[in-house]
């Protein structure tokens, strides 16, 4: 029987409530409302660096996979932008100052595990981060720019210089999701992996909130 709705639409539908959970996590909500500090923003950029290092190393490995490689393009690569942002925000010795939070460690371990062995799992993590970056991410970047006075330095992560039309890019990405040769069981597994990725993102915001209150108490 043909699918009633395209896979990309089912994926979006099934992850809507997980998305709301990530979006409304206190740490993120504070940053959006303008209650977050520059240090809060930097703490988030640091964790992104660990996550994208894993994701983009996995992408290197997955370039030879016939299913995963369709989604991989240098136009999405974020690691160089994150490194320039950290150099600008923290200074040239930033690498000596950064450590992953507990959720980031678990998130990275998961990306490394599926990134080495399972195309669908890799695509789930790729989708959750990059389609988010090309959606709410663009809005968050503009807010951070306004709030902290960043022009390009500091928010390079949110600037996709090689993607002039994010909406058109996302439409093509969704067509590629719909064309992936996955049976129903594999589609379910991919959706579950997306839900797991959302959970890591929500728990990361919880870790960030906790780390912030620990600093206040100390
Ligand atoms: C305050 C934080 C956030 C805001 C304001 C926000 C906002 C949005 C908006 C408006 C869209 C819809 C764009 C469209 O229809 O094309 C979207 C899509 C998306 N967001 Fe977020 N988002 C936030 C956080 C996150 C987080 C933390 C993640 C996960 C890492 C995420 C992942 C996604 C994904 C994967 C999509 C694409 C859904 C799809 O069309 O298949 N978002 N976001």
> Ligand 1, closest atom to CA 31?
1
Distance 136 CA to ligand 1 centre (A): 5
Mean pLDDT of 54-65: 97
Q: Does the pLDDT at position 107 exceed 90?
A: yes
Domain boundaries, the chain: 7-212
**Ligand 1 atom 8: the closest Cα is on which residue?**
136
Distance 205 CA to ligand 1 centre (A): 15
**b/e per residue, 71-101, with b = 16+ CB within 10 A?**
bbeeebbbbebbbebbebbbeeebeeeeebb
Q: Residue 212 has what pLDDT?
A: 87
**Ligand 1 atom 27: the closest Cα is on which residue?**
22
Q: Which residues, 6 or more positions from 37, have their beta carbon under 8 angstroms from its beta carbon?
A: none
Distance CA 76, CA 47 (A): 18
Q: What is the dihedral of CA 97, 101, 105, 107, to 10 degrees?
A: -120
Q: What band does 65 get if pLDDT is binned at 50, 70 and 90? A: very high
Q: Residue 4 has what pLDDT?
A: 85
Distance 135 CA to ligand 1 centre (A): 5
Mean pLDDT of the chain: 96
Does domain 7-212 match CATH 3.30.310.80? Answer: no
**Ligand 1 atom 31: the closest Cα is on which residue?**
132
128 close to ligand 1 (CB < 6 Angstrom)? yes
Phi, psi (degrees; rounded to nearest 5) at 98 = -100, 140
Is residue 208 within 8 A of residue 46, CB to CB? The reply is no
Q: Does the pLDDT at position 170 exceed 80?
A: yes
Report the alpha-carbon angle 81-86-130, nearest 5.
40
Distance 1 CA to ligand 1 centre (A): 31
Distance 19 CA to ligand 1 centre (A): 7
Please state the length of the chain.
Answer: 218
């Amino acid at each position: 029987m043909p699918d009633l709705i395209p896979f990309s639409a089912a994926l979006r539908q099934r992850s809507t409530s997980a998305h709301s959970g990530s979006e409304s996590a206190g740490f993120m909500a504070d940053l959006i409302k303008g209650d977050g500090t520059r240090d809060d923003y930097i703490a988030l950029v640091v964790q992104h660096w660990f996550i994208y290092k894993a994701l983009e190393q996995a992408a290197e490995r997955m370039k030879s996979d016939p299913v995963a490689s369709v989604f991989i393009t240098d136009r999405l690569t974020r690691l160089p932008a994150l490194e320039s942002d950290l150099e600008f925000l923290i200074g040239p010795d930033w690498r000596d100052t950064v450590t992953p939070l507990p959720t980031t460690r678990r998130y990275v371990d998961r990306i490394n595990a599926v990134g080495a062995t399972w195309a669908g799992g890799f695509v789930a993590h790729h989708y959750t981060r990059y389609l988010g970056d090309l959606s709410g991410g663009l809005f968050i970047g503009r807010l951070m720019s306004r709030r902290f006075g960043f022009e390009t330095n500091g928010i390079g992560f949110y600037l996709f210089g090689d993607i002039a039309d994010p909406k058109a890019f996302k439409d093509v990405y969704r067509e590629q999701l719909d064309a992936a040769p996955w049976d129903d069981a594999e589609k379910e597994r991919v959706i579950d992996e997306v839900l797991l990725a959302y959970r890591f993102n929500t728990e990361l915001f919880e870790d960030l909130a906790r780390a912030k209150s620990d600093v206040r108490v100390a």
